[in-house]
Amino acid sequence: MKQPFLWGGAISANQTEGNYLADGKGPSNFDQLPLDDRRLKPVYLDDPNNIFNTEEADYHPSHNGIDFYHTYADDIALLEELGVNSFRFSISWPRLFATGEETTANPAGLAYYHDLFDRLKQAHIEPIVTLSHFELPLQLVTNYGGWASRHTMDMYVRYAEFVMNEFKDDVRYWIPFNEMNMIMHIPFIGGGLTFTKQDNMLQKEYQAAHHQLLANAHVVAIGKRINPDFQFGCMLAAGRTYPYTPNPKDVWAANLSDRTALLFSDVQVRGHYPAYFDALCRKNHFTIDMAPGDLNLLAQNTVDFVSFSYYSSACSAADTDALDTIATNGFTTLKNPYLENTNSVWQVDPLGLRITLNQLYDRYEKPMFIVENGIGTTDDQLVDGHVHDPYRIKYLSDHFDQMQLAQEEDGIPLIGYMMWGIIDLVSVSEGKMSKRYGVIYVDRNDHGQGSNQRIRKDSYYWYQDYLTQHINQGGYSDEQKLSTIG
């Protein structure tokens, strides 16, 4: 890899911290998600089985997470031993502002994050900070409808400005929103959205996304005033959509799928909605409520880099009736007959990473940043104190090879690579601990039971060796591993 390059791993607050009401933290939308199939479904308030009508037996995995709120010091020590030079994590908005409407930050939450940053600095690990990772204060959902309201946007901007001021000397790379395009697939998780059966869902989803786009632009504008050296990235759930056949109708179906995936990053990078957006609104019988100055704000405050998650590619066809489907990141896609999903909940497509990097760079011509990639599997088993995961080693090795080809043969500027769930965590899509991603095993089951001990998997040692070759042999001292804050 071309140096300097950020090698690391990623987690989120809502999937790891636990302690969901501890020390002044407020509940979030994510804390409402039970361990059942309602997690990814739209929330209809006029459906008595919605996730607000909980039963005593319901288990909510985020309430416990992996107790990162208390174990972060030991976890950072494991990351330092691993040899990463960067770490992506999110700040929990309701841990700092319990309802989202306070004007003073929660001192306990603030002390926690200050110590987290201090320990990363001592370990010579650069933080990559996500300000909103599928999490907002629950009161903004129940009282205002989540991101469907401009009030939520205003409260988020106030929160983000506080965080950027508070940690302006600690962070260079900021990601205002995680996987913004997922609001179209998992609207309660992505935007705290609720519906009634009479609502135009698309209208509410695109309206909420418009507010997130505006908030993103506000954060860029404010952040650049706080520190001109701040770098801001859009972040999307990516993966090129292939046509199922060369039939032009299938090619067009794949194009439409990619349009949906890339619409919001188009706005964040280019500063305006794509040409087809007005026709999309008319076709689906809705309009977006825009205030004077909205479009100008978007035009003047675009992002510096394009960050994305990549787990697998997707596949589309004009006629899907007789075709098999398979789960991917937050939604289903057609099963690609040329790909396997052995040892993975999703189909594995290493070349698809290179294809996706080329797709995004050709479209945007901005530096790329892979901030999530990894294999989620239920095959990890702790046996006699060890976890043997050769399938994860192969997954990482194959994707690293394609990443290197994208740089060396395709000329794509790449900031870094963050392995998703580098420490096992609660899955977004299923809420399970048993769907494991990490090179560090966490001894907890799907109901939060276990010792919570951290155990290095075989892949930990493989990644450690790989990093030794690609960082230390690159001649970087500990100080040089960190990006300089101007």
Which residues are annotated as catalytic? 179, 372
> Do 238 and 308 form a contact (C-beta atoms < 8 A)?
yes
Q: For residues 171 and 163, what is the distance between their CA atoms, to the nearest angstrom?
A: 10
Q: Residue holding tokens 């070759």?
A: 469
What Å distances lie between residue 267 and 179, 213, 361, CA to CA?
Answer: 14, 8, 15
Q: For residues 34 and 57, what is the distance between their CA atoms, to the nearest angstrom?
A: 10
Q: What is the DSSP string of 392-446?
A: HHHHHHHHHHHHHHHHHTT---EEEEEEETSB----TTT--SSSB--SEEE---T
> Do 429 and 420 form a contact (C-beta atoms < 8 A)?
no
What Å distances lie between residue 31 and 28, 94, 331, CA to CA?
Answer: 5, 11, 21
Token pair of 475, please?
């001649």
Which among 143, 139, 290 has a CA at the least distance from the CA of 213?
290
Side-chain half-sphere CA neighbours of 409 within 13 A: 10
Burial of 332 (0-12, 13-18, 19+ CB in 10 A): exposed
Burial of 331 (0-12, 13-18, 19+ CB in 10 A): middle
Token pair of 248, please?
């032009």
Token pair of 8, please?
């690391």
Q: Give the three-state DSSP class for 257.
A: helix
> Do 407 and 415 form a contact (C-beta atoms < 8 A)?
no
Beta strands in 187-288, from DSSP E residues, in sequence order: 231-238, 241-243
> Do 211 and 157 form a contact (C-beta atoms < 8 A)?
no
Token pair of 408, please?
């060396």
Burial of 221 (0-12, 13-18, 19+ CB in 10 A): middle
405-415 burial, b if ≥16 CB within 10 A, otherwise e?
A: ebbeeeebebb
